[in-house]
């Protein structure tokens, strides 16, 4: 009497026999590959600036900006340790530059933003133009542009670096190059890019200099704050966002960078917001004031009290609710432009 192998045994033998040909069965992993809703491995996390600041100081004592090329403490997602990522597509880090230092000039395919956290008077140079840094300023380093940073004042300056490093790594499209000179030659006066493109006008002839990236590489906080104040005087309060604006590329009306969207929002005193979620994970930097972020994740509800200069991350499709007794201003960035370009972006406002 012949005993037929069980279906489980047949499958196991099939898997073993085809494995040397680098074949695997889809039916064993289908539900993980195509889940009913986003199932990110990332977790919500919060970084207190007061806790981080001593380590920034120690990093300044341990290595120079020139030795490090970029003296940065990476904000790693607790669930992605060792991957230099705050979400699966985004990078975040806090960079320190001390008086008299220069972070040498280089360029790379990764797009970068700088959001100034503490100190003022240092500079970033991009493609022959410098801009002076002030707290709350949003500064862009377009893909494949020469850039260096320097500090000619007498106080340390710290800023948030936001890049699409994990995204570029996913596409295996990363290139980088060091410049022969530590500091690039300054070829244009400070503010010249804003003069050409920052007044809802543009030069009659000539293409925008950075392709799909905004021709304005510095968005001063004074202007952003003024816009929020004007919105507060003239627009109704949004129950989810307070008063929120997105930065734009004036040449296209779209996001300032092809891979990164940036936002600034003001929560007035007494704000108790409603919860919402989005497919694009977002990184927040607290500019002014204090509040509480409530994030509903698969691990349960987490509560992050925050104050000025703190940072926190909200992973994909985890709901966020914001609350502020005294009022606050928040800067944030996400990978929304890529979601929108692929037609996969989704947002849900919860009642």
3-state secondary structure of 22: coil
Q: Is the pLDDT assigned to residue 1 strictly greater than 80?
A: no
Q: What is the C-alpha to C-alpha distance for residues 163 and 107, in angstroms, rounded to an integer? A: 13
249 in Cβ contact with 255 (< 8 Å): yes
Q: Where are the alpha helices (DSSP H) in the chain?
A: 7-18, 30-33, 49-62, 65-68, 165-170, 192-197, 221-234, 336-342
Task: Say if 98 falls within a structural domain.
Answer: yes
Task: Say if 54 falls within a structural domain.
Answer: yes
In angstroms, the Cα distances linking 171 to 41, 88, 166, 174, 344 are: 19, 13, 9, 8, 18
**pLDDT value at residue 299:** 84
Task: Say if 95 falls within a structural domain.
Answer: yes
Q: What is the C-alpha to C-alpha distance for residues 158 and 97, in angstroms, rounded to an integer? A: 7
> Which is it for the CA torsion 179, 217, 77, 347, positive or negative?
negative
CATH code for the domain in which residue 286 is found: 2.60.120.10
Q: How many domains does the chain have?
A: 1
Q: Please report which confidence band the pLDDT of residue 298 belongs to, taking 50, 70 and 90 as the band edges.
A: confident
Smallest CA-to-CA distance from 281 within 255, 320, 315, 312 is with: 315
**pLDDT value at residue 254:** 96
pLDDT tens for each residue of 140-161: 999 999 999 999 999 999 999 9
Task: Say if 4 falls within a structural domain.
Answer: no
Average pLDDT of the chain, as a whole number = 96
pLDDT tens for each residue of 207-216: 788 989 999 9
Q: What is the C-alpha to C-alpha distance for residues 7 and 9, in angstroms, rounded to an integer? A: 5
Smallest CA-to-CA distance from 184 within 141, 135, 139, 121 is with: 141
| Angle at the Cα of 158 from the Cα atoms of 222 and 255, rounded to 5 degrees | 55
Q: What is the pTM of this model?
A: 0.96
Task: Say if 30 falls within a structural domain.
Answer: no
- Average pLDDT of the segment spanning 241-263: 97
Owning domain of residue 211 = 39-349
pLDDT tens for each residue of 15-68: 999 999 999 999 999 999 999 999 999 999 999 999 999 999 999 999 999 999
Q: What is the C-alpha to C-alpha distance for residues 217 and 269, in angstroms, rounded to an integer? A: 32
Task: Say if 29 falls within a structural domain.
Answer: no
Task: Say if 5 falls within a structural domain.
Answer: no
Task: Say if 20 falls within a structural domain.
Answer: no
pLDDT tens for each residue of 195-235: 999 988 889 987 788 989 999 999 999 999 999 999 999 99
Smallest CA-to-CA distance from 257 within 162, 324, 148 is with: 162
Q: Is the pLDDT assigned to residue 324 strictly greater than 90?
A: yes
Token digits of residue 179: 């410049």
């Amino acid at each position: 009497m012949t005993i037929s192998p069980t279906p489980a045994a047949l499958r196991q033998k099939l898997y073993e026999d085809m494995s040397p040909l680098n074949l695997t069965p889809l039916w064993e992993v289908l539900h993980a590959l195509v889940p009913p809703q986003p199932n990110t491995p990332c977790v919500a996390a919060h970084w207190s600036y007061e806790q981080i600041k001593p380590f920034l100081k120690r990093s300044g004592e341990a290595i120079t900006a020139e030795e490090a090329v970029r003296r940065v403490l990476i904000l790693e997602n607790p669930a992605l340790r060792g991957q230099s990522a705050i979400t699966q597509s985004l990078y975040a880090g806090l960079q320190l530059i001390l008086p008299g230092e220069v972070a040498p000039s280089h360029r790379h395919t990764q797009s970068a933003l700088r959001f100034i956290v503490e100190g003022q008077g240092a500079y970033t140079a991009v493609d022959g133009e410098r801009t002076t840094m002030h707290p709350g300023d949003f500064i862009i380093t377009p893909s494949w542009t020469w850039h260096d940073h320097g500090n000619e004042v007498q106080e340390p300056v710290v800023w948030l670096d936001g890049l699409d490093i994990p995204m570029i790594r996913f596409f295996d499209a990363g290139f980088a190059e060091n410049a022969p000179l530590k500091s690039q030659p300054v070829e244009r006066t400070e503010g010249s890019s804003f003069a050409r493109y920052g007044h809802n006008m543009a030069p009659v002839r000539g293409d925008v200099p950075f392709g799909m990236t905004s021709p304005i590489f510095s968005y001063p906080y004074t202007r952003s704050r003024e816009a929020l104040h004007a919105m507060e005087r003239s627009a109704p309060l949004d129950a989810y966002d307070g008063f929120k604006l997105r930065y734009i590329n004036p040449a296209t009306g779209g996001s300032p960078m092809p891979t990164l969207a940036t936002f600034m929002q003001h929560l007035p005193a007494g704000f108790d917001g409603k919860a919402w979620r989005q497919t694009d994970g977002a990184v927040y930097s607290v500019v002014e004031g204090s509040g509480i972020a409530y994030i509903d994740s698969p691990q349960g509800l987490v509560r992050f009290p925050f104050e000025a200069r703190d940072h926190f991350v909200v992973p994909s499709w985890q709901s966020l609710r914001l609350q502020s007794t005294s009022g606050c201003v928040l800067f944030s960035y996400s990978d929304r432009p890529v979601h929108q370009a692929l037609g996969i972006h989704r947002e849900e406002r919860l009642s």
